[in-house]
Structure 1
């Protein structure tokens, strides 16, 4: 027996930072929201993968931990009383006879909404695992794909592998607590924010980080789940062993859209194509924002997702309040709307 339909103005799929800000933007336009997320908590990757990771490109915060950012966003949208449906995945998205959308979840929840905003991040995500013999015996014990607590690495010899933002940011952060930080990368150029790379270079000059370049992971040493060393090699086959207690491979996330791929939306390389100015997808009344959305020149930043959340909310307004003219005002003059 199916559950009764719950009616709302906007259904938001994804409760990560961009989804949370979308609640606020919708609330500012007097639109009520129901929010669905497969995780059993809000925050998306920020909460599940790296709650203590410092984020440097949030306006007004020189640095803010991911978990703190989620706390601030949750506090910001709380006054609009969003309804959260956590620990459940959207499995159905169908058009109704009156041109609304019916969102159905894996637990039987049914949400009828005038508009849908997809803020599902990178969809279902998992780490890209290095192809090393015996990897499984060390995973979860001395090989980790995310950092939940910095203090877990206090006094340890840590090898970080990768050349992106996660590798660079964690090298900088863990250098404050670890006994030794070694960064393994196949080339001297890093795909990370220039300011972060500059900070890492300075820590290297100070002897707090050791750069192992140009090398790649080639093997593991240890027993009973505990690493004693990480073997690395150059492209020419020159090998050496790094004495280590922990390996943190940061090679990005593998992306799986899951049921999203079956919703009939126009896709491009596992992302949802949108119109940049409105965040509209190929289906009327469905908008996409954040990492899952793509258009020419897209910058994958939380900051970009925040701007897209505002655009999507304004684009959804005429669907929720048909015939009503939206007189846009700045929040400093308009204040918080009442009665949402």
Structure 2
């Protein structure tokens, strides 16, 4: 884009919740910043994977959908007119603390004095079940890995497979819209918040959800991409067919740091170890926050990414203004700086 700057104080890679809040924190400290993301819109997984999924652990928000959370973060940074470079994947990072050069797959380059990596799960995609003929049902939408519009599932016979938070949350969220909802898992134990487990028990008792345990996915029935049933099998080899219009397998995301892994910093199983005091990586001047960052006691919660964003921004300030002491002030005292 023509008005995209050639240089900035802080390059923020990733425009999900942590990246957006990092932009706000940098702007509050009068640090110029740029948001860069490979996706065509800001929001990361919240926008791309679950815009209508309620999030319950954001402070002061009893429940907020992913898209609404991103819209609120956008409003928060709107006064600062922060430049963003979307549909660009950062391929290269060279230089040193105070003088980095970033290059993208679209041929753009940016000079920055510090870098914040807020890349979430990195390059992410679903773990797909090994079922014959899966591709045709994916193409038709009969098998989906993300729920973008709950209205699309109204009066559908839905099979949800998985035993973690995503499977539980979507089962509870879709139970009122579905004509029938099955929850398939290989054992009668689910990994979820105690309140979600309590709600699941209530929904099962009320006949809103049928637990199919201990079973695993075994096959798909239908023709020309139209799903009519899902075969499941138990540990003894007994099979059962569930009448279904839609299959939603939630087996987690396959993540990949991509080019980030080649930038010379320490990595650990698709995450980046950081100092818990300031979120700096092993490469001086480069910081990591959100799901991509790891340290002892790390919790993969959006709220922790927000805290890390603030710590990283404050740690970067002396890199940009080495002669200027930073006196911490609450936002209630200093307000929002003029653009």
Q: Report how far residue 99 of structure 1 moved.
A: 3.6
Query: Which has the higher mean CA deviation after the structures are superposed, 148-157 or 322-331?
Result: 322-331
Deviation string, structure 1 residues 93-145 (Cα, Å, up to 9, x no partner): 1115x841111111122111111000001111110000111111111320001
Q: Report how far residue 4 of structure 1 moved.
A: 9.9
Distance 1:22 1:152 in 2: 34
- Aligned residue in 1 for 2:126: 127
Tell me if structure 2 keeps the 8 A contact 1:14–1:118.
yes
Distance 2:114 2:149 in 1: 38
- Aligned residue in 2 for 1:238: 238
Deviation string, structure 1 residues 37-70 (Cα, Å, up to 9, x no partner): 0001001111111111111111111111101111
- Aligned residue in 1 for 2:61: 61
Gaps of 5+ in 1: none
Aligned pairs for 1:1-340 (under 5 A) are 6-95=6-95, 99-141=98-140, 142-339=142-339
Distance 1:202 1:148 in 2: 26
Q: Report how far residue 338 of structure 1 moved.
A: 2.4
Tell me if structure 1 keeps the 8 A contact 2:4–2:85.
no
* Count of matched residue positions in the alignment of Structure 1 and Structure 2: 336
Distance 1:29 1:214 in 2: 54
Distance 1:331 1:176 in 2: 42
Distance 2:107 2:175 in 1: 47
Tell me if structure 2 keeps the 8 A contact 1:126–1:255.
yes
The SS at the match of 1:155 is coil
TM-score, normalization by structure 1: 0.96
Q: Report how far residue 161 of structure 1 moved.
A: 0.3
* CA RMSD in angstroms, aligned pairs only: 1.4
Q: Report how far residue 330 of structure 1 moved.
A: 1.4
Distance 1:54 1:5 in 2: 36
Q: Report how far residue 27 of structure 1 moved.
A: 1.1
Q: Report how far residue 79 of structure 1 moved.
A: 1.2
Q: Report how far residue 5 of structure 1 moved.
A: 6.9
TM-score, normalization by structure 2: 0.96
Tell me if structure 1 keeps the 8 A contact 2:98–2:114.
no
The SS at the match of 1:171 is helix
The SS at the match of 2:139 is coil
Q: Report how far residue 255 of structure 1 moved.
A: 0.7
Q: Which runs of 4+ in 1 moved over 2 A?
A: none
Tell me if structure 1 keeps the 8 A contact 2:161–2:248.
yes
Gaps of 5+ in 2: none
